[in-house]
Amino acid sequence: MKRLIAFVATIAAAAVALVACSGPDNVPLLAKPANALRVATYNVHYIILEEETGAWSVGDWERRKAPLDAAFKTLDADIVAFQEMESFARGDDGNVNLARDYLLERNPAFAAAANGDARVFPSTQPIFYRTDRLEMLDQGWFFFSDTPDVIYSRTFNGSFPAFASWSLFRDGDTTMRVVNVHLEYKSASNRRLSSELIAERIAPWVDAGENVMVIGDLNARAGGVPQQIIGAKGLKFVDVQGSTYHLNYGLNLFGAIDHIGVTDGIMQVGETQVLRQKFLGEWPTDHYPVVADFVVE
């Protein structure tokens, strides 16, 4: 009986702890400071075109597309780097992208950088930008692979392709290069090798004195190996408190895995914000958006 009581007590304590670290914060975003550049990173999860119902299916997209648009509008960002903005089916050429097209149609003040014909430019990590403020000057990509300049090449251990997309923007008299990354979640060695490749590719830009931002889903918590490797090239990662991945249930079980790193010429204004809330009564995806405001020299 004592063992049973102890077991029940343990389960009850775990349930209390789970409730304490779960659910939406519902804290409204702080107002954007005057002249600041608001930047966000947001993993919006892929859509399976061959599935009509179930998790991440086309039917599920119908449920979450309006909430995703509401979340995007709430961000009030100038730049939003998306990960997993993908709609895929066996044998397709990759040019169907339901989430990208839906958001662009409903937000005409924005355009998509790091974007193009999917046969020659991987378009599942677009960078949305506000066209009345920013001008896109250049864009490119590289895969986390032994052959990084071969499109859709598999990762270092042969798992599914993962990559970095990037865009160079002009904002008035300044420019800034935004590198949008999504590191593989299972393999620590893949994350390390991918981070080393990111560091290698951004090094010439940093050494040339460019403003560089590395942003996205590192699948690693603050202070981890990816941040250490990329940070060694002269980037500082902003402080992100609490969870950014919630398992599509609002469960905040571990620290942030979505991050923003910047070079010295990009100065944060105010605190980093994470929108831990439902939109229109739904979770739009299994990550929370991370938002920070900056002044670029």
Query: Lowest-confidence range among 7-11, 69-73, 126-130, 256-260?
Result: 7-11
Q: Are 43 and 71 in contact (CB under 8 A)?
A: no
112-118 mean pLDDT = 97
Which is higher by pLDDT, 12 or 200? 200
By C-alpha distance, which of 204, 226, 209, 129 is closest to 170?
A: 129
Quote the pLDDT of residue 89: 86
State the pLDDT confidence band at 249, using cuts at 50, 70 and 90.
Answer: very high
The whole-angstrom distance between residue 116's C-alpha and the CA centroid of its chain comes to 19
* pLDDT over threshold 60, residue 11: no
- Tokens matching residue 81: 């780097």
Residue position matching structure tokens 């677009």: 126
Quote the pLDDT of residue 28: 83
By C-alpha distance, which of 169, 173, 122, 170 is closest to 149?
A: 122
H helix or E strand, kind and range, residue 35:
none
Quote the pLDDT of residue 25: 65
Quote the pLDDT of residue 56: 97
* pLDDT over threshold 90, residue 23: no
pLDDT tens, position by position, 141-171: 999 999 999 999 999 999 999 999 999 999 9
State the pLDDT confidence band at 24, using cuts at 50, 70 and 90.
Answer: low
Domains of the chain: 26-296 (3.60.10.10)
- Tokens matching residue 187: 């393999």
State the pLDDT confidence band at 265, using cuts at 50, 70 and 90.
Answer: very high
Mean pLDDT of the chain: 91
